[in-house]
Structure 1
Amino acid sequence: MKCTLSVALLATLLVLSGCEKSHSPSDDEHKVPGTFILRLVGSRGDTVTARWRDSDGPGGSPPIVDTLGLRSNSTYSCSLEILATDGDSLTNTIRSQGTEHQFFYSLDGSAANTVSIAITDRDSRGMPLGLQTRWSIDPVEAPTPGHVRIQLYHYEPNTKDGQARAPETDADISLPLVIEP
């Protein structure tokens, strides 16, 4: 009887000591990007701001999206700011965790043949990040429409190579774009 009780107590002790509290990721990892603000400063001194806003997060109301209007035969320096659905800035968090994040930009429509986007900022390992970009716009003779798609990919530590997209995205948005002559 004494042996059975000792074995039961030992088994209970082992089970309880083997249970470990799960560590939850930081609050920023759970925050959903709800607003993207693109600020472009042109080579001709013009400044353009466009926003993509989804204040209630995925699955609710559709996002409110500005059309990005740019001038042809210009170059723009663009900075991207990201806010969570609660309004907190996620930009510095993404920058500080740059080795685990990368933005990819793609274009469609007629603008795809007119606009090129180059990432100008790097993470701590020298890989592209994408919060800062340079947009080069070729000359056009008529308004040229399209969309710019911005995807934020999340990488496991030390797997980002600057070219391949990760299997997991943190955000995937699209803004209409018009190039004016």
Structure 2
Amino acid sequence: MSLFHTRLIILLGLVVTLGSCKKEEPAPEDENELITTVRLKFTENGTTTTQTFEWKDLDGDGGAAPTISAISLRPSRTYKLEVEFLNESVSPAESINSEILEEADEHLVVVTPSASSLFTYTATDKDSRSLPIGLAGTLVTGTASTGTIKVQLRHQPPVNGQPVKNGTVTPGSDDANVTFPLTLVP
């Protein structure tokens, strides 16, 4: 066999070998949840009465404006707060909370006042690394005033197989970011 034929056979062998290598499929993107409703349930310590407030946008971004409950709480009180996220674009409505709890190491609920003197919020639920989840917590109100309460559901999936959730709002993206008007009245 000539040198040309030998080189041609080697070249063809390389082409077949390299061409048959299995390409890795890209990792599926971990998409954000579809959330149409955010429900806040406040129960004042020492009582069994629960007040429920909702932010609801059934048609999603761009359509009709969301409906937003005005929250009215008592000043200088401690409340148990439960946050519920729903997808009501399907029937029956789908609670997103079960998925948040299943993927607790990748989710964080952040509850923020504006002005900062309105309240403090402390999450009472924890993930497997003892970082807050935030679906349940304690909210302590300040003195009589008005402002807003922002509720964010942060989606913080691992990057390159490494966890990024660190208990702060910074990593990840918003699955939900809604603001309610808040009044603290005696």
TM bin, normalised by shorter chain, reads 0.7 to 0.9
* Residue in 2 that maps onto 1:137: 141
Matches within 5 A, 1:21-60: 29=31, 31-45=33-47, 46-60=49-63
* Residue in 2 that maps onto 1:104: 110
Structure 2 residue runs of 5 or longer lacking an equivalent are 1-7
* Residue in 1 that maps onto 2:99: 93
Look up the equivalent residue of 1:168 and give its one-letter code: S
Pairwise CA distance, 1:131:
0.3
* Structure 2 CA distance for partners of 1:16 and 1:170, relative to 1, 3 Å: farther
Pairwise CA distance, 1:20:
6.7
Say whether the 8 Å CA contact 1:41–1:77 is kept in structure 2.
yes
Say whether the 8 Å CA contact 1:40–1:79 is kept in structure 2.
yes
Of 116, 122, 128, the match for 1:124? 128
* Residue in 1 that maps onto 2:163: 158
Describe the SS at the equivalent of 2:94. Answer: coil
Look up the equivalent residue of 1:42 and give its one-letter code: E
Look up the equivalent residue of 1:95 and give its one-letter code: L
For residues 184 and 40 of structure 2, the distance between their equivalents in structure 1, rounded to whole angstroms, comes to 16
Cα RMSD of the aligned pairs, angstroms, is 2.7
Does residue 61 of structure 1 match 2:67?
no
Pairwise CA distance, 1:17:
7.2
Say whether the 8 Å CA contact 2:122–2:138 is kept in structure 1.
yes
Describe the superposition over 1:57-109 as per-residue Cα deviations: whole angstroms up to 9, x where unpaired: 12222111101110112110011111113221100101110101111121114
Larger fraction in helix: 1
TM-score calculated relative to the size of structure 2: 0.78
Say whether the 8 Å CA contact 1:48–1:69 is kept in structure 2.
no
* Residue in 2 that maps onto 1:177: 182
Does residue 147 of structure 1 match 2:180?
no
TM-score calculated relative to the size of structure 1: 0.80
Say whether the 8 Å CA contact 2:32–2:174 is kept in structure 1.
no
For residues 150 and 105 of structure 1, the distance between their equivalents in structure 2, rounded to whole angstroms, comes to 5
